[in-house]
């Protein structure tokens, strides 16, 4: 089963404290519209500029969970990568992400339990070096050993 994992997968046996991975993505209007469709969250603060102008944000913002999804992308694609199982995630939303913003998402290993294959990751997303989302994730990393 695990033999089909890509080379980029980092097995629990190879994960080290402080190891980190990241990605950068520009959040587009199309991303926000697709997320609204998939999530069924059609809050007008995300989709209607006229409505959003009268909110505390003064304009449209991306869904918070769309931004947090970039953390999931780093975990699922890079660290640990394919074969990873999410078991928990805490999030705090600090600032809005707007259409056109370039979001930097990063995860960093802060705890490892090799026998349980458990990895705790410090997570954040930033726009222009300002953190917009922070949190911690707990995951089960793939192992070279068969279960």
Residue-wise pLDDT tens digits, 71-86: 999 999 999 999 999 9
The domain tally of the chain equals: 1
Both tokens of residue 136? 């911690």
Cα 45 to Cα 37: distance, rounded to the nearest angstrom:
15
In a domain, 1, yes or no: no
In a domain, 71, yes or no: yes
Which CATH number does the domain housing residue 35 bear? 3.10.129.10
Helix (H) or strand (E) holding 103: strand 102-113
Query: How many other CB atoms are there within 10 angstroms of residue 129's CB atom?
Result: 6
User: What are φ and ψ of residue 21, in 5° steps?
Assistant: -145, 160
Calculate ∠ Cα 78-141-5, nearest 5°. Answer: 60
Domain limits at 80?
Answer: 10-140
Which of 66, 127, 58 has the alpha carbon at shortest distance from 91?
66
Higher pLDDT, 129 or 3: 129
In a domain, 145, yes or no: no
* pLDDT confidence of residue 100: 98
In a domain, 75, yes or no: yes
Give the list of residues 6+ apart from residue 144 with CB closer than 8 angstroms, or none.
2, 11, 13
Average pLDDT over residues 64-72: 98
Flag whether pLDDT at 5 surpasses 60. no
């Amino acid at each position: 089963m695990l033999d089909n994992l890509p080379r980029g997968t980092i097995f629990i046996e190879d994960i080290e404290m402080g190891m980190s991975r990241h990605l950068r993505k520009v959040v587009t209007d199309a991303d926000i519209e697709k997320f609204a469709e998939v999530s069924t969250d059609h809050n007008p603060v995300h989709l209607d500029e006229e409505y959003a102008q009268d909110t505390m944000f003064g304009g449209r913002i991306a869904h918070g969970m769309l931004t947090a999804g970039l953390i999931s992308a780093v975990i699922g694609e890079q660290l640990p990568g394919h074969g990873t199982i999410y078991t928990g995630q805490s999030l705090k939303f600090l600032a809005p992400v707007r259409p056109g913003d370039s979001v930097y998402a990063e995860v960093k290993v802060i705890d490892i339990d090799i026998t349980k294959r458990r990895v705790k990751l410090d997570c954040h997303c930033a726009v222009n070096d300002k953190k917009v989302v922070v949190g911690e994730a707990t995951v089960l990393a793939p192992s070279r050993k068969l279960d």
